[in-house]
Amino acid sequence: MRFLLALWLTFGLASVTQAQSKTQLAVDASIDAELADLVKLYKQLHANPELSLQEVKTSATMAEELKKAGFEVTSKFGGYGVVGVLKNGTGPTVLVRADMDGLPIIEKTGLDYASQVHTRNKEGVEVGVMHACGHDVHMSCFIGTARTLAANKAQWQGTLLFIAQPAEEVVAGARAMLDEGLYSKFGKPDFALALHADPLKPVGVVSYTDGLALANSDTVDILVKGKGGHGAAPHLSIDPIVLAARIILDLQTIVSREVNPLDPCVVTVGSIHGGTKHNIIPNEVKLQLTVRTTKAEVRKDVLAAIERIAKAAAVGAKAPEPEIVVSETQFTPATINDSTLVKRTTKVLGGVLGEKNVQTRPPLMGAEDFGRFSKGGVPIFMYFLGTVSQERYDAAQKPGAPALPGMHTDSYFPEPDRAIRAGVRTMSAAVIDLLQVK
């Protein structure tokens, strides 16, 4: 009996591993056949970035590529959103998401395929445009995964729901697609996956957070009102600049004195505008804030504290009540990776890249609208894909060496071929695992 058990364990396990490696070999062969073309696609996307809510050409490329891969495609869904569906028998539905927008940054990488694009933002100001958040990597991995899964239908069974999402950088795109009825029209997925480029880790490494990965993000506008006058006669005015300065300093006590120190929280005043000239006291000053929290109750308390402090400061200065607007549309909820899905998928990623290359990372106070795809209880998982060449990574680890350029900087660039290969391998394996043929 013991012998039989040992025999079964040996051959049973061997056949499972063999089946897995057979799948991996088939998948790797597809990826390697596509890689040169994916890098070409990457360079084309990188050189032609578009700002949030302006993803006209990018979304057309995504639609065309998904169609070519055999997906049924719906375009202009929730703005420039693209939805691709590929059915392959009965089984669960897996959503895979890539985001498409670039950032208003003038690229300074010096690459021969660097973006030269300039455009006007929605305020009409001319800006450079750059894929400085790696959304071009996301799209290339996304199309690579679509092609790989379409070429390996024998390895999985179920439905692929591939989403090319616009306007992530202004956290509007996921919401727009969901509000247009993504889940009611195309079916609620059983799982949702995404990857995000990591500018600080080498290619071949992925990292992830189990549970809370990214924070709640709120945008608050405060219009501080005063009474304008001559700069030489402040006693006849109510100076909104002095009042705004007081409000900014008072706001610092929310995190330091009001919130439990064990609850992470950020209140940043990122912009202050008021006045036109040295000797004029203006009527008003505009403040723009970003607020990051990780718990719903802390979010509520912090937003209430901002309002209370701004109003109280105005009372103290005999000023009119300030106008405070917490943006509904720019709110994005925290990204909370589903623990069961994380455990299952990271095991698969470890099989692809080697366990030591699948690392945990602490949560960030940054925000992403991928969290919205958990609507209705869909388990979600976003992992970070190392994108920097090993050589550049090693050089940056040396004492005194300059740090690698981070996300949203004008100098960030990935090593496209190896990063895309790792992205497609990991994402394809994760999807195949969730759609295992019984």
Site for Zn ion in 166-185 (CB under 5 A): none
DSSP string, 48-71: S---TT--HHHHHHHHHHHHHTT-
**Span interacting with Zn ion, options 84-92, 133-141, 146-154, 203-211, rule CB under 5 A:** 133-141
Please report how close the Cβ of residue 407 comes to Zn ion at its closest, in angstroms. 6
Q: Which is nearer to Zn ion, 49 or 282 (CB)?
A: 49
Q: Which stretch binds Zn ion (CB under 5 A): 76-84, 126-134, 325-333, 417-425?
A: 126-134
CB of 371 to Zn ion, least distance (A): 13
Q: At what angle do helices 416-434 and 2-47 cross, to 10 degrees?
A: 130
How many of the other CB atoms lie within 10 Å of CB of 233?
Answer: 10
CB of 193 to Zn ion, least distance (A): 15
- Give yes or no for residue 195 binding Zn ion (CB under 5 A): no
The window from 19-27, 125-133, 156-164, 314-322 that contacts Zn ion (CB under 5 A) reads 125-133
Looking at this protein, which amino acid is placed at residue 389?
Answer: S
By residue count, the chain amounts to 438
Say how many residues touch Zn ion, by CB under 5 A.
Answer: 1
Residue number with CB closer to Zn ion (198 or 284): 198
Residues with Cβ within 8 Å of residue 76, at least 6 apart in sequence: 59
Stretch that binds Zn ion, among 41-49, 55-63, 130-138, 215-223 (CB under 5 A): 130-138
Q: Closer to Zn ion at the Cβ: 133 or 182?
A: 133
* Segment interacting with Zn ion, rule: CB under 5 A, options 8-16, 72-80, 131-139, 170-178: 131-139
Other beta carbons within 10 Å of 414? 26
Residue with smaller CB distance to Zn ion, 133 or 193: 133
Helices and strands, counts by H and E, the chain: 10, 18
State the Cα–Cα distance between residues 154 and 148, nearest whole angstrom: 11
**Of the ranges 128-136, 259-267, 305-313, 422-430, which one interacts with Zn ion (CB under 5 A)?**
128-136
CB of 295 to Zn ion, least distance (A): 23
Residue among 311, 332, 329, 331 at smallest CA distance from 320:
311
CB-CB contact of 271 with 285 (8 Å): no
Q: In whole angstroms, what is the distance from residue 303 CA to residue 431 CA?
A: 39
Any contact of residue 133 with Zn ion (CB under 5 A)? Answer: yes
Q: φ, ψ for residue 90 (rounded to 5)?
A: -85, 145
Task: Report, in angstroms and rounded to the nearest whole number, the Rg of the chain calculated over CA atoms.
Answer: 25
Paired residues of 238 in beta bridges = 227
Judged by beta carbon, residue 86 or residue 164, the one nearer Zn ion is 164
Q: Which is nearer to Zn ion, 159 or 165 (CB)?
A: 165
- Burial (CB count within 10 angstroms: exposed 0-12, middle 13-18, buried 19+), residue 391: exposed
Residue 196 Cβ vs Zn ion, minimum distance, rounded to whole Å: 6
Mention every residue, 6+ apart, whose C-beta is less than 8 A from residue 94.
158, 159, 160, 161, 189, 190, 191, 192, 193, 431, 434, 435
- Return the number of the residue (134 or 322) whose C-beta is nearest Zn ion: 134
- Shortest CB 103 distance to Zn ion, Å: 7
Choice between 45 and 251, CB closer to Zn ion: 45
CB of 68 to Zn ion, least distance (A): 25
Q: Give min distance, CB of 79 to Zn ion, in A.
A: 17
The answer to whether 399 and 367 are in contact (CB under 8 A) is no
Quick one: which of 217, 215, 150, 210 has its CA closest to 360? Answer: 210
- Helix 416-434 with 135-151: angle, nearest 10 deg: 50
Please identify, using beta-carbon distances, which residue of 66 and 133 lies nearer to Zn ion: 133
Binding characters for Zn ion, 72-91, by CB under 5 A (x = yes): --------------------
Which residue, 155 or 217, has its beta carbon nearer to Zn ion?
Answer: 217
Interface stretch with Zn ion, choices 129-137, 233-241, 269-277, 419-427 (CB under 5 A): 129-137
If one asks whether residue 35 binds Zn ion (CB under 5 A), the answer comes out as no
**CA neighbours closer than 13 Å in the CB half-sphere of residue 269:** 19
Number of residue whose CB is nearest Zn ion: 133
Kindly give the pairing relationship between strand 126-128 and strand 118-120.
antiparallel
Choose the binding region for Zn ion from 16-24, 84-92, 132-140, 295-303 (rule: CB under 5 A). 132-140
Nearer to Zn ion, 162 or 384 (CB): 384
Q: Footprint of Zn ion on this chain (CB under 5 A)? A: 133
